[in-house]
Amino acid sequence: MQSANADGTVHRLSRRGKAWRIGLALTGIAALAHGTLRDSDDYFPFGSMAQYASAHDLDGEVRSVYMLADTQSGRSRVRVPLNATGTGIGRAEVEGQLDRILADPSLLQTIADAYQATHPDRDHYTTLYLMRDTYQLRDGYREGEPVTEELAAWTVR
């Protein structure tokens, strides 16, 4: 391998430089293979590529997970901001752990704790509700109203 400077001077890459670059590329490929074989995105962006593997059914359905909360001041079912500035926990993180949360709703306590730590001056949550809206598609467009399900609830400690 070689590269040229602006003045046209050519510099060859040393064996050590080549080995370092090849090693880095092989490490990336191994991490991608590991994430794909485990069907895990724990090491994002070296996770499963299954989400890109097939076309979506234009007449299928789309599911959207989100959270609502009751607050100390009595406000009911306010939207929980699942993002970096709201709770520090993204919606994709919740969706990725959905099976674990359904098996053990106490895991939702982490979200209440994160919100309280991030926003100590705001109204704290008393109950969290894990929700899912299911939208029906027709020719790739949403048709009708969503079906809303409460998947889990947790009383904050």
What pLDDT, in 10s, does the model give residues 33-50? 887 787 766 666 767 666
Same domain assignment for residues 78 and 124: yes
- Could you report the per-residue pLDDT of 56-74, keeping only the tens digit for each? 788 999 999 999 999 999 9
**Rounded Cα distance, 91 and 105, in Å:** 16
> Do both 71 and 113 map to the same domain?
yes
The residue segments making up the domain with residue 8 are 2-51
The answer as to whether 56 is a domain residue is no
13-24 burial: b if 16+ Cβ within 10 Å, else e? eeeeeeeeeeee
Residues 82 and 115 in one domain: yes
Tell me the C-alpha distance between 112 and 83, whole Å: 13
The domain total for the chain is 2
pTM for this model (two decimals): 0.67
